[in-house]
Structure 1
Amino acid sequence: MSAPLDDAFLARALATAQRAADAAEAVIEPRWRARDFSVETKADATPVTEADRDAEAAIKRVLREDFPGHAFYGEEEGREGEGEFLWLIDPIDGTKAFVRGYPMFSTQVALMHAGELVLGVSASFAYGERAWAVRGGGAHLRDARGTVRRIHVAATRAFDAQAAISTGNLKSLAGSPARWAAYGDLVRRVGRIRGYGDFLHYHLLARGAIDLVIESDLNILDIAPLVVLVREAGGTFTNLDGQPIGLDTRSALAGTPELHAQAIAAFNA
């Protein structure tokens, strides 16, 4: 039987996740400012730095202090432990940006309970934003000026000249002639197409600045907190097949409820 998941528990878990993001920032920021880190290439041909590894360790130290019995799934160290509570951690989501010196990277911390994502913190000191959400508690964003506000997706209902789409990696989508044609049709119908990528387009979606995000190649650690953020901001978040987000997710479609429904129909006609 699952343990109760009440508001008091979620508030405590959110506070811990915020402290964990702070701990990661304390590791990452001085290396980012000084450009002082070595870079290695992992087996999947993606870069990793000691900042990634040290930040993940710092996050786990904070989480373990408050929740010693929980399990962890980190970008650098993989899965540790079992149980109904699983913390998902990407210490530097966007390591390529970090390495190349532009600020489109973030720290991603989320909590999954019995297979459901219930809490998330998405923190980018370099860009100047931190966003967070808890199941049933709405979505919030702190901007570069330190102002905190509750955020919500736009009221966009149609693919028209006022609508905006942002995309991430589309390699797999480009390999499907039917879906690529469906994507092309959406591009022709909207006013703007952008590629903000990584955490940023989900922050923009959640605060009503864009209307749909499409990504065909990712993993759960790239998006776990952002799933909670978008949903609590009133949006819809599934994979490209319209299925719920889970540990095996490899694609993402997030948007206003109306545009999401229309895009799902288009991609799965």
Structure 2
Amino acid sequence: MTNPYINIASEAARQAGGLMRKFSQRLESIPVERKARNDYVSDVDRACEQAIRQYILKHHRDHAIQGEEMGQQGDSEYLWIIDPLDGTSNYLRGIPHYAVSIALQIRGRIEHGVIYDPMRDEMFTASRGEGAFLNNQRIRVSGRKDLSTAVLGTAFPFRKRRLMSAYQGMFDALFEKSEDFRRAGSAALDLAYVACGRLDGYFELALQPWDIAAGALMVQEAGGVVMDVNGGERWLESGHIIAAPFKLVTPIRHAIAPHVTEGMKARLS
């Protein structure tokens, strides 16, 4: 893929991935700060975000950037949405499953996205209308047509534990109907895996834009469908997301619909 925005995001992601690999040699000495219960930020997160910001601004000084650790900088129709290290908990424990996620939103719509797994050297990329790719090879969502044979990805709403009861109902309903579940610890990689067919679908609650912006575009460009828990398109605002091939997304939504709370609906209204 030769899109200049994808090239910038890919190189920024590779630089961040290099920092992750470097710091991974001394995990026990990395300073870690607790942002909230079970939510941590390390010096590696901050160093990676700083590297990404510097690389983007080197090429587009007038663009705005929204990052998980440093908030939003600048005001522009071009907004880069970045998660410098999605899967911090995995990283700090030496579990080799985490990623960099970078998306570019132009005039309110996600147009480009990159997710980079530095441990496997896998670069997922997507641009609106141009398809989705893994290391420059086109990818497609799973061809699975029946929920009973589907393996789904998910994660617990650990930042919003008040949603756990509703989530448990959703999980139970889908677990009853699907083949199995995976909970690997990186929303960005879960979405990338849906895009390339490793997972047959994915749902999660209470995510942030930087968790899902790039991955959702990737699923769409790989032929899949992304929606919020009410079947609408406000997944980026609500953080409640379903992503799956066309044949599976409606059965997933129907299974979880009885457990969608009024609070979730209000957030989507």
TM range (shorter): 0.7 to 0.9
TM-superposition CA deviations, 1:31-76 (whole Å, max 9, x none): 0133252112125652111111111111011111211111110111
- Secondary structure of the residue aligned to 2:15 is helix
The one of 180, 187, 193 aligned to 1:192: 180
Structure 1 equivalent of residue 100 of structure 2: 107
Q: 1:183 to 1:246 in 2, by over 3 A?
A: closer
Matched, 1:218 2:207: yes
- Give, in angstroms, the shift of residue 27 of structure 1: 2.2
State the identity %: 29
Q: 1:45 to 1:168 in 2, by over 3 A?
A: closer
The one of 175, 198, 209 aligned to 2:165: 175
Matched, 1:53 2:46: yes
Matched, 1:24 2:13: no
Look up the equivalent residue of 2:245 and give its one-letter code: T
- Give, in angstroms, the shift of residue 89 of structure 1: 0.9
Structure 1 equivalent of residue 264 of structure 2: none
Distance 2:178 2:196 in 1: 19
Matched, 1:159 2:147: yes
The one of 218, 229, 236 aligned to 2:225: 236
Distance 2:234 2:37 in 1: 23
Distance 1:236 1:204 in 2: 14
- Secondary structure of the residue aligned to 1:130 is strand
Look up the equivalent residue of 2:50 and give its one-letter code: A
Distance 2:26 2:130 in 1: 38
Task: Map 1:69-84 onto structure 2 (within 5 A).
Answer: 69-84=62-77
- Give, in angstroms, the shift of residue 247 of structure 1: 4.8
Structure 2 equivalent of residue 248 of structure 1: 237
Q: 1:258 to 1:13 in 2, by over 3 A?
A: same
Unpaired runs of at least 5, structure 1: 1-6, 143-147
Please list every run of at least 4 consecutive aligned residues from structure 1 whose deviation after the TM superposition is greater than 6 angstroms: none
Q: Is the contact between residue 90 and residue 185 of structure 2 (CA under 8 Å) also seen in structure 1?
A: no
Distance 1:45 1:183 in 2: 21
Structure 2 equivalent of residue 150 of structure 1: 138
Q: 1:99 to 1:181 in 2, by over 3 A?
A: closer
Matched, 1:39 2:18: no
The one of 116, 124, 148 aligned to 1:123: 116
More helix by share: 2
- Give, in angstroms, the shift of residue 173 of structure 1: 5.2
CA RMSD, Structure 1 to Structure 2 (Å): 2.1
TM-superposition CA deviations, 1:200-258 (whole Å, max 9, x none): 32222111122110111321111111011111111111222223246533222110112
Look up the equivalent residue of 1:78 and give its one-letter code: G
Look up the equivalent residue of 2:9 and give its one-letter code: A
- Secondary structure of the residue aligned to 1:202 is helix
Q: 1:232 to 1:126 in 2, by over 3 A?
A: same
- Give, in angstroms, the shift of residue 127 of structure 1: 3.9
Distance 1:191 1:43 in 2: 34
- Secondary structure of the residue aligned to 1:82 is coil
How many residue pairs are counted as aligned between the two chains? 253
The one of 6, 10, 18 aligned to 1:14: 6
- Give, in angstroms, the shift of residue 182 of structure 1: 4.9
- Secondary structure of the residue aligned to 2:198 is coil
Structure 1 equivalent of residue 56 of structure 2: 63
Q: Is the contact between residue 220 and residue 249 of structure 1 (CA under 8 Å) also seen in structure 2?
A: no
Look up the equivalent residue of 1:24 and give its one-letter code: A
Q: Is the contact between residue 173 and residue 256 of structure 2 (CA under 8 Å) also seen in structure 1?
A: no
- Secondary structure of the residue aligned to 1:121 is strand
Look up the equivalent residue of 1:68 and give its one-letter code: R
Structure 1 equivalent of residue 87 of structure 2: 94
Structure 2 equivalent of residue 3 of structure 1: none
Distance 2:58 2:72 in 1: 18
Distance 1:37 1:183 in 2: 35
